[in-house]
Structure 1
Amino acid sequence: MLFFVLKNIRNIIPVGLLLLLGGAGIRAQSGFELVSGGDYHTVKFSLVNNLVIIPVEVNGVELSFILDSGVNKPILFDLGSGDHPEFSHFEAIYIRGLGQGEAIKAYRSRDNVIRINEKVVNRSSDFYLILDQGINFAPRLGIPIHGIIGFEVFRDLVVDISYTRKRIRFYRPGTYRHRTCRKCHTFGLDMIHNKPYLKAEVAVDGRREEVKLLVDSGSSDALWLFDREDNGLSVPQEHFDDFLGRGLSGSVYGSRARVEELHLGDFEFKDAKVAFPDAVSLQHLQNLSERDGSIGGEILRRFDVVVDYAGKKMTMKRNRYFRQPFKYNMSGIELQHNGMRIEQVGTNSNQALSEHAEARKTYRILPGRLLKYSLYPAFEIAEVRNGSPACDAGLKKGDVVLSVNGKRASGHSIQEMMELMNVRAGKKIRLLVEREGRQMRFMFRLKEVL
């Protein structure tokens, strides 16, 4: 499961400007506001891997951003060959975050104009620009992702997220009335360093503990807990080690398991998924003692959520996703986009040509025949979990998946391909892959991880 961990944006070290921080004044900023009549404005979003993707215009250029309640300042990634917004007032900084690597260089830009669907506007916002091409999550999601935005939106507006209708309503402060209903619960939020926390209870290995959790819509996981002696939490006996995701400071590893129970106010979940990141991945994070973990998108999408930072509360109403089971990746494969494939229209996957094959001139154009080709994303195996059915079958990182059980990869999204490879325990999975220019076939059966 993919999740995003671009957090801890407060932990910055300006390059060559350390002596200026103490005397720097706080500049007033306009913040987000509605520029049209009415008490709210509605924006449609895409839900990809439990993440909310919204349209954001930065200095006149249309982009796609993750709406992330766990990030302080907007972050913009390297846009590659796409259209680039114009920026000014640059200041070099270093940012540390989750992961086992070091801090990365970024640039702070001031006085930028941000629009969300034209009618939600901030006319003077700071941005952090990350030019490291390794910080690029579009391949894992299968759609362009240009950045992350969070705190300023939630600070200035009441944000009503309907995961079932895939729409957000941004309300003017003071105009929204929190509803009371049988399926609703309103939580008090603790705002610490511009981030929202709520209290919950978890039962792990027969022990019940009260925990303080970061509300993190920028994580596609369900639940994170920190293995620490002071909070009484530890990795359950039944678990497996796994790659958890990518953070600002590199790869994040840890253990995956299930909690026996998770209580959020009036709501109860049985056998919810949980990840325990290892200590090395958490080494750069500040203020860890103030929380015990986080709840992410796989929990949040089971509700329609209203976030009110000014009122320090959040209302959650369960929706039709509430009782869906928590599933782990049974195949052990994680996919990503890597380049394009050229396929002859109307042929089967055995006749597909890769971008690399085109470069090597390994196919012929026959005189008198007009052949039609189309370009499709190449689905490359990004990770294979040790001990998983895919690993035991011999699949490797870098293999390009051409078909699953006879269904061609072309025309499908990454999410659809992952679903095909994780149908149910006991299901036989047949893969056709390309490895170093050769097509190879593999077979394995899915099995429950926990």
Structure 2
Amino acid sequence: MKKRFLFFFLFIYALTISAQGGFRFKKEGNKVSIPFKLINNLVFIPINVNGVELTFLLDSGVKETILFSLEDKNEVSLKNIEKITLRGLGSEDAIEGLKSVGNVLEVKGMESINHLLYIIVDQDFNLSSHIGIPVNGIIGSSIFKNNLIEINYEKKRVVFYKDSRKNRKRIESKYKKTPITVEGSKPYVKANAIIDSDIIPVKLLVDVGNSDAIWLFQNISDKIKVPKNNFDDYLGKGFSGDVEGKRARITEFSIVDFKFLKPIIAFPDYSSIKHVTMVSDRVGSVGGEILKRFSVIFDYQNEFLYLKKNRHYFASFVYNKSGIEIRHSGVQWVKETVQLQAFPITVDHLDTNGGKNATSLKYKFQLKPIFEIANIRKNSPAENSGLQKGDVIISINKNPAYKYSLQQINSLLRSEEEKWITIEIERNKQALKFSFQLIDVL
């Protein structure tokens, strides 16, 4: 089979092959609304692929539709497959993949026919372990290109509107409107960043698939410099390896008339973005930590972005102060005790329980998640306490780890107050306990 080399990465860089026609209304209608799950500022939506429901990350920073983690979805039938090679974010080698054409994707009252799919066959690459729910793929511009698309972060709904003058007029009466450019099927917006006292105009990718507030590429522009008060951090995982960089607070970020004081910015290392082909003048991305503070409407056809503040607008900008990244590493059988209530039995007016209700215990076994430390930041509170990459977490603050969701653990590690965290772990079949305090170094 013919091989092609495609260069793209998970959150920013899209594939360069021409896209399919995109999603359209199945019947005459004006609006379709679907629920989504919001996890770590990322949007996950259900989409049927050739009749099988899968979960996709919605990502405006990707042009094509990408599938992975299909090991438990053997019933998915893919059309017209050929081999390809994928390479992208990170600094490691390319990975093998597949290309499939002629597929049908459906979501409620919308469909995309003759849909082009790219499949990552490497089972080591998956989002599920880092998100905490099964994630089967990423979907990009085909969602946005034909209609007005609202992402309502507060109500957790994605809404498709027909691209009509009536709908745009209604939206313009309620939302703040700003121009964007759609280049290579991806949206870009102009904004301003103040680093120290320097006001820097920036052109940013509007990236729904990036959980951070803002990424700035210091190697692209001489004006972008990392503030002195920063720390090295793990920023995420791409198709070609881990993405490393620095985090720091800047003085201010503004988009349209909306201003944010002291947001936390990620500055990826050059080695992590060296495979990216940038559009003209782009110096970074604006992601979910900013976007979640609005109801956002994309109008690709007319190149506008609409923003309306929601109740999260004034939320503080926080980060993982512990220095550890947790991932879901499997499941385990857990024995739980269930208390059963027994009713008194009376025979010939004789109460066998002395007039009191009896109780009994029953045990049940349930599958529960296993969490482990996927990465640990150097000189962080967690590393200084003695925790290591690969440690399996038994309990957090005396509560069994399996009683938490991954999102709850991440929220705990992002706590604003400088609280103490005690984590019991298993290492080399030995139980160990470590404590550390969440310290704000920014």
Structure 2 CA distance, aligned partners of 1:44 and 1:409?
Answer: 28
CA 1:257–1:84: 2 relative to 1, 3 Å: farther
Q: Is the 8 A contact 1:425 1:445 kept in 2?
A: no
CA distance in 1, matches of 2:222, 2:182: 20
Q: Given residue 173 of structure 1, which amino acid in structure 2 is its aligned partner?
A: D
Q: State the match for 1:156 in structure 2.
A: 146
Partner Cα distance (1:346, 1:252) in 2: 43
Question: Any conservation in 2 of the 1:33–1:172 contact (CA below 8 Å)?
Answer: no
1:445 corresponds to which of 431, 437, 442: 437
Name the residue aligned to 1:408: 400
Q: Using the TM superposition, name which of 193-202 and 396-405 deviates more.
A: 396-405
Tell me how far apart the structure 2 counterparts of residues 231 and 43 of structure 1 sit (CA, whole Å).
43
Structure 2 distance, partners of 1:292, 1:230, is 7
1:121 aligned to 2:111?
A: yes
1:378 aligns to 2:370 (yes or no): yes
Give the letter aligned to residue 437 of structure 1.
K
**1:144 is the counterpart of 2:137:** no
With normalisation by structure 1, the TM-score equals 0.87
Contact 2:11/2:210 (<8 A) preserved: no
- Do the aligned partners of residues 78 and 372 (structure 1) sit closer, same or farther apart at CA in structure 2, a change above 3 Å counting? closer
Shift of residue 168, structure 1, vs aligned partner: 1.3
Q: Which residue of 2 aligns with 1:171?
A: 161
Flag the structure with larger Rg.
Answer: 2
Deviations 1:19-71 (A, max 9, x none): xxxxxxx89x5531111342011101100110110000000110000111011
Task: Structure 1: state its 5+ residue gaps.
Answer: 13-25, 348-368
How many Å separate the matches in 2 of 1:370 and 1:405?
Answer: 27
Report matched runs for 1:110-259 at 5 Å.
110-117=101-108, 119-174=109-164, 176-178=167-169, 179-180=171-172, 184-228=175-219, 230-259=221-250
The alignment yields a C-alpha RMSD, in angstroms, of 2.0
1:28-427 matched pairs, under 5 angstroms? 30-117=21-108, 119-174=109-164, 176-178=167-169, 179-180=171-172, 184-228=175-219, 230-287=221-278, 289-346=280-337, 371-427=363-419
Tell me the distance in 2 between the aligned counterparts of 1:314 and 1:181: 14
* Structure-2 separation of matches of 1:437 and 1:8: 42
More divergent stretch after superposition (290-299 vs 75-84): 75-84
**Larger deviation: 240-249 or 87-96?**
87-96
Counterpart contact for 1:11–1:96, Cα < 8 Å:
no
2:253 maps to amino acid = L
TM-score, length basis structure 2: 0.88
Give the secondary structure class of the aligned counterpart of 1:431. strand
C-alpha change, 1:376 and 1:323, in structure 2 (3 Å) is same
Q: CA deviation at 1:231?
A: 4.7
Distance in 2 (alpha carbons) for counterparts of 1:275 and 1:311: 30
Check conservation: 2:21, 2:142, Cα contact below 8 A. Answer: no
Alpha-carbon distance in 2 for matches of 1:290, 1:85: 41
Give, in whole Å, the separation in 2 of the partners of 1:439 and 1:66: 36
2:420 aligns with one of 423, 428, 435: 428
SS in 2 for 1:280: helix
- Give the Å deviation of 1:165: 0.4
Aligned equivalents of 1:417 and 1:68: distance in 2? 24
State the alpha-carbon separation in 1 of the partners of residues 145 and 93 from structure 2: 30
**Equivalent AA in structure 1 for residue 304 of structure 2:** K
Q: Deviations over 1:329-376 (max 9, x none)?
A: 1111111111212222139xxxxxxxxxxxxxxxxxxxxx98532221
C-alpha separation in 1, matches of 2:267 and 2:68: 27
The residue type equivalent to 1:146 in the other structure is: N
1:8 aligns with 2:17: no
- Aligned with 1:176: secondary structure? helix
Question: Percent of aligned positions with the same letter in both sequences?
Answer: 40
User: 2:46, 2:76 → 1: CA distance?
Assistant: 14
Rounded to whole Å, the distance in 1 between the matches of 2:329 and 2:82 is: 33
**8 A contact 1:76–1:130 mirrored in 2:** yes
Q: CA deviation at 1:171?
A: 1.1
Separation in 1, partners of 2:373, 2:24: 43
- Name the CA distance, whole Å, in 2 between partners of 1:139 and 1:392: 25
The secondary structure found in structure 1 opposite 2:411 is: helix
Q: 2:318 touches 2:416 (CA, 8 Å); kept in 1? A: no
